[in-house]
Amino acid sequence: MAREELIRLTGDVGGPDCDDDDCPNVYRAKSGSFVVQGVVSDAFTPPDGEGLVEIPEHVLREAVRVLGW
């Protein structure tokens, strides 16, 4: 799936290492599922085919606000 196929729910959250496309973000896919972008986490080893990322709470709050939940 290409980034262009996703709806970006979060905007520029700012930060010292944040440019247009490398900030933690939440996206919505056409299927209704979510894609998250964040810092890779090594909290535990997920099953094959899955990954862990950390995103700040305010990014999730912004996504919920945009969705009107």
Tokens standing for residue 39: 């810092």
Closest to 23 in 3D by CA, of 10, 34, 33: 10
CB-CB neighbours of 20 under 10 Å: 6
Instruction: Provide the domain limits for residue 41.
Output: 3-67
Tens of pLDDT, residue by residue over 1-56, are: 898 899 999 875 555 556 666 788 999 999 999 999 999 999 999 999 999 999 99
pLDDT value of residue 13 = 53
Q: Which amino acid is at 60?
A: L
Integer Cα distance of 41 and 43 in angstroms: 6
The pTM of the full predicted model, rounded to 2 decimals, is: 0.79
How many domains does the chain contain in total? 1
pLDDT value of residue 18 = 63
Q: Which amino acid is at 13?
A: V
